[in-house]
Amino acid sequence: MKKIGLVVAPLLVLSLVVTGCGAKKDAGSESASEQVNDTQANKLTEDQTDGALVSIKGVFGETTAIEGGIEVTVSQPMNYMPSADAQNYTEELTANSMDITIKNGASEDLDTSSIVFSADSGVNTCLEIVDTANGYEGVPVVILPVGETISFKYATGCVGKPGENLVVKTWFSAAKVNFEGTIA
């Protein structure tokens, strides 16, 4: 039995080295496109996001009514310069900011932790920029009471240039809204 263990252990170590398992990737060597492709939002499959959902087209700057009285507004994208401490931003990305407002006109409280936002530009998924110095902290996680409204800033960095396609997607429990426009 000891002989088998002495043969198997070195082979296991060799296989891990050859396949790269456990190897750490240098984040500095990744391009902006590779960083975007590694995001969780980009890994959602069509089945996970569109399965039985109602898909609605929204317009930047206009209020879109969805699922039982919930309303969402995403302002026109505006170009902005993230602070030096911004997360998920590199100079290769075009940064855009938007103001988002969600009104709970439903018959029960809304748990905002179940709401997902993402953005893409053509075939490229954009990164959500977290920039607390400029007030971009992501979707607030709260229980939004019936009749109440919440507003927050959302920022995204895209591999793309101003004027190229931009789609900001938001998923609620039974609906997906695509706000379509262009990168500012």
In-domain check, residue 5: no
Contact 117, 174 (CB under 8 A): no
In-domain check, residue 168: yes
- Choose among 136, 177, 152, 180: nearest CA to 50: 177
In-domain check, residue 47: yes
**Residue range 58-73: mean pLDDT, rounded:** 93
Residue 174: pLDDT band (50, 70, 90) is confident
- List, in sequence order, every residue forming a beta bridge with 178; answer none if it has no partner: 57, 169
Indicate yes or no: pTM above 0.85. no
pLDDT of residue 172: 87
In-domain check, residue 4: no
**Residue range 41-48: mean pLDDT, rounded:** 40
Residue 44: pLDDT band (50, 70, 90) is very low
In-domain check, residue 23: no
CATH number reported for the structural domain that contains residue 71 in this entry: 2.60.40.1240
What is the total count of domains within the chain?
Answer: 1
pLDDT of residue 184: 95
In-domain check, residue 162: yes
pLDDT of residue 11: 37
Query: pLDDT, tens digit, for every residue of 14-42?
Result: 343 333 444 433 444 455 445 544 444 43
In-domain check, residue 11: no
Mean of pLDDT over the chain: 80
In-domain check, residue 84: yes
Q: The domain containing residue 82 runs over which residues?
A: 32-182
Which residues in 57-68 are b (16+ Cβ under 10 Å) and which e? ebebeeebebbe
Query: pLDDT, tens digit, for every residue of 114-168?
Result: 999 999 998 888 999 999 999 999 899 999 999 999 999 999 999 999 999 999 9
pLDDT of residue 64: 96
